[in-house]
């Protein structure tokens, strides 16, 4: 499903093609730069194995982009390699030397094939010194032939979002523009550094953790922006491409984590909006997971999860700011305005990364614009918060003095009032503790159960399988592991939509629960695959009968939202009767048996040979 934006992009290109020939890039003497989005032809290489000769032989399969002239090509999150081709027709009086800029520094691999047979490579997976030109973006020298047309080929591949802004430059114009760009970025990062140092000084003076979380938020934002702008690869980690590749996703995930903690501390969501506090904590946990995800999962998955979590947190933080503003919480109004601008920029970039918004100057630099405005506004919010707290402190001291004078003549009444307040506060604390216990229970449930079907998740299944195997060893008993994979589910999900697909998964989960015993564990491993641990099983024949019963029950006709559907299941069975077999090996054997059932046509079960 991750390739859907790219497929839609190619479909739009094909529909807009209408059989028209692609126009050449025409260069005249007075042209200083030229955007190439509208003149580029595109070919998808799903396997990433095509060579230049292969794509040259498939020239008729290229489709024009049909994008506006100043747009940027965006394939979203795609696992394919993409070939771009454009032909340059230069006026005889036009210069022969140009520069081709690919202005998206987080691309993993960019291969340039020039009209003279040149082959140059760049990307954030390579050391910075290997770039053809030492620039924060990927820049390639283009040498045009003396006569005739010149064709340029590009191969682009990346685990992150595949945005490809292309522009052809006269060298002198490019370097002049680059100086301005470097200067503006210097101002931006100077503001970011100043804000971080300012809040660090406030934290040292006030020891309020809200300020140190904002310092970490600003530092994390700086890491992400340094990667996004290419300055980090050029100046801070030029010889560390592995980190340069991760810095974009990890930096913005850390920005989200510390932004969530800052929001929670500044707005005191635990007390001001307790219903949203759990969402803020949960999203902070997701951001923390996104930070380390590139180390344990595919980078593309981490980048997509970061983008989706950023969009979700934008909505939650804005809602929390609105609630606090309505209750006249100190600094909430300015905070809401500042945070809304920043999170709007984050949401725009997240939607652009998912190819749900077009790539324009505003959507490309939305985070920089939003964060710069947020810096200025949030400084006022922090100052307003300090002044408000100071006024409240002075008012509290005056009230305490007046109360002390009144206590001389009303000690008994004050004691009774104090007792009532203590009782009320105790009740409030007990209620807050009850809410915290409920939140803890809900978080524990989310950690061990699949949110869609209510079944055990992989974590809980592994723990119970380990316990069942230990018990089987001690009691010399047997257990069976079944891996169940739904047949034809992808066709249902793609044909009828995710809502129907989710209902099918819930129905299949209910049928599995009804088929097995209460002592057995049913879990959803992911997508349309389930696993069952049958404890205290008699022998392989019993397990096989249970597997056949499951295939029969799951194969019963199904009606979801008035749509008649037919679903079948392939079941693999693996037996355990003691020994040193590990849970993962037992599950692997069941999975192999399931694939054997798939190969047999599906809708059946197979026993593991081992």
**Residue 257: how many other CB atoms lie within 10 Å:** 25
> How many whole angstroms separate alpha carbon 138 and alpha carbon 157?
13
Q: Which residues contact 249 (CB under 8 A, 6 or more apart)?
A: 160, 290, 293, 294, 299, 302, 303, 306
Catalytic residue status for 528: yes
Please name the helix (run of DSSP H) or strand (run of DSSP E) that holds residue 486, with its range, or none: strand 479-487
Give the C-alpha separation, 587 to 482, whole Å: 8
Tokens of 4: 């859907």
Check residue 213 and report its DSSP letter. H
| H/E run at residue 10 | helix 4-17
Cα(277)–Cα(261) distance, integer angstroms: 10
Q: Can you tell me which residue has the tokens 């990307």?
A: 123
Annotated catalytic residue, options 45, 124, 487, 528: 528
d(CA 554, CA 561): 18
Q: Which residue has the tokens 């010399």?
A: 476
Q: How many CB atoms lie within 10 A of CB 105?
A: 23
How far is Cα 330 from Cα 395, in angstroms, rounded to an integer?
15
Element (H, E) at 98: strand 97-102
Q: Is 497 helix (H, G, I), strand (E, B) or coil?
A: coil
Torsion of CA 281, 287, 293, 299, to 10 degrees: 150
Cα 504 to Cα 508: distance, rounded to the nearest angstrom: 6
d(CA 42, CA 48): 14
Instruction: Assess contact for 572 and 593: CB atoms under 8 A.
Output: yes
| CB atoms inside a 10 Å sphere around CB 254 | 23
Which residue from 94, 116, 120, 108 is spatially nearest to 34, judged by alpha carbons?
94
Tokens of 254: 């850390």
CB-count exposure of residue 265 (10 Å: 0-12, 13-18, 19+): middle
Contact 212/203 with Cβ under 8 angstroms? yes
Question: How many angstroms separate the CA atoms of 224 and 218, rounded?
Answer: 10
> What is the Cα–Cα distance from 503 to 565, expressed in whole angstroms?
11
Q: Give the whole-angstrom CA distance, residue 278 versus residue 291.
A: 20
Chain length of the chain: 610
Residue 362: alpha-carbon gap to chain centroid: 21
Q: What amino acid positions are annotated as catalytic residues?
A: 528
């Amino acid at each position: 499903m991750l390739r859907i934006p790219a497929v839609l992009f190619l479909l739009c290109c094909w529909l807009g093609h209408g059989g028209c020939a692609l126009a050449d890039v025409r260069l005249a003497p007075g042209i200083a730069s030229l955007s190439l989005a509208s003149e580029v032809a595109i070919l998808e290489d799903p396997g990433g194995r095509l060579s230049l000769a292969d794509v040259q032989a498939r020239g008729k399969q290229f489709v024009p982009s049909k994008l506006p002239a100043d747009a940027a090509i965006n394939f979203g999150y795609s696992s394919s390699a993409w070939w771009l081709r454009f032909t340059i027709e230069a006026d005889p009086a036009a210069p022969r030397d140009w520069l081709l800029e690919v202005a998206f520094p987080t691309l993993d691999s960019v291969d340039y094939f020039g009209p003279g047979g040149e082959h140059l490579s760049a990307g954030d997976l390579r050391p910075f010194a290997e770039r053809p030109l030492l620039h924060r973006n990927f820049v390639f020298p283009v040498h045009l032939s003396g006569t005739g047309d010149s064709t340029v080929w590009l191969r682009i591949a990346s685990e992150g979002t595949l945005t490809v802004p292309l522009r052809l430059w006269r060298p002198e114009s490019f370097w002049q523009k680059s100086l301005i760009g470097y200067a503006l970025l210097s101002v931006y990062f100077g503001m970011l550094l100043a804000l971080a140092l300012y809040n660090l000084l406030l934290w040292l003076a006030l020891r309020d953790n809200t300020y140190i979380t904002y310092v970490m938020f600003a530092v994390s934002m700086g890491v992400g922006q340094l990667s996004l702008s290419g300055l980090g690869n050029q100046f801070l980690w030029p010889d560390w491409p592995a980190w340069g590749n991760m810095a974009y996703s990890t930096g913005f995930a850390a920005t989200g984590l510390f932004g969530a903690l800052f929001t929670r501390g500044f707005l005191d969501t635990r007390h001001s909006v307790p219903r949203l506090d759990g969402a803020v904590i949960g999203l902070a946990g997701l951001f923390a997971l996104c930070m380390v995800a590139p180390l344990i999962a595919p980078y593309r998955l981490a980048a997509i999860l970061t983008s989706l979590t950023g969009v979700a947190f934008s909505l939650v933080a804005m809602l929390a700011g609105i609630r606090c503003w309505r209750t006249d919480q100190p600094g909430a109004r300015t905070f809401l305005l500042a945070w809304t601008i920043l999170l709007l920029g984050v949401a725009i970039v997240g939607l652009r990364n998912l190819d749900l918004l077009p790539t324009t100057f505003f959507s490309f630099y939305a985070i920089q614009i939003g964060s710069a405005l947020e810096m200025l506004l949030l400084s006022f919010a922090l100052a307003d918060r300090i002044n408000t707290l100071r006024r409240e402190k002075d008012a509290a001291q005056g009230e305490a003095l007046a109360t002390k004078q009144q206590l001389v003549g009303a000690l008994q009444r004050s004691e009774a009032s104090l007792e009532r307040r203590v009782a009320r506060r105790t009740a409030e604390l007990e209620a807050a503790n009850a809410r915290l216990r409920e939140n803890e229970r809900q978080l524990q449930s989310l950690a061990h159960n699949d949110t869609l079907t209510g079944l055990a998740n992989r974590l809980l299944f592994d723990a119970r399988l380990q316990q069942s195997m230990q018990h089987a060893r001690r009691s010399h008993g047997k257990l069976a592991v079944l891996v169940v994979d739904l047949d034809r589910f992808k066709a249902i999900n793609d044909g009828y939509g995710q809502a129907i697909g989710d209902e099918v998964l819930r129905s299949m989960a209910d049928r599995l629960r009804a088929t097995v015993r209460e002592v057995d564990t049913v879990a959803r491993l992911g997508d349309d695959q389930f696993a069952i641990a049958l404890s205290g099983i008699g022998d392989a024949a019993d397990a096989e009968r249970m597997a056949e019963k499951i295939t029969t029950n799951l194969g019963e006709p199904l009606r979801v939202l008035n749509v008649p559907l037919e679903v079948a299941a392939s079941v693999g069975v693996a037996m355990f009767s003691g020994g040193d077999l590990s849970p993962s090996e037992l599950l692997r054997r069941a999975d192999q048996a399931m694939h054997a059932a798939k190969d047999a046509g599906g809708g059946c079960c197979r026993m593991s040979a081992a």
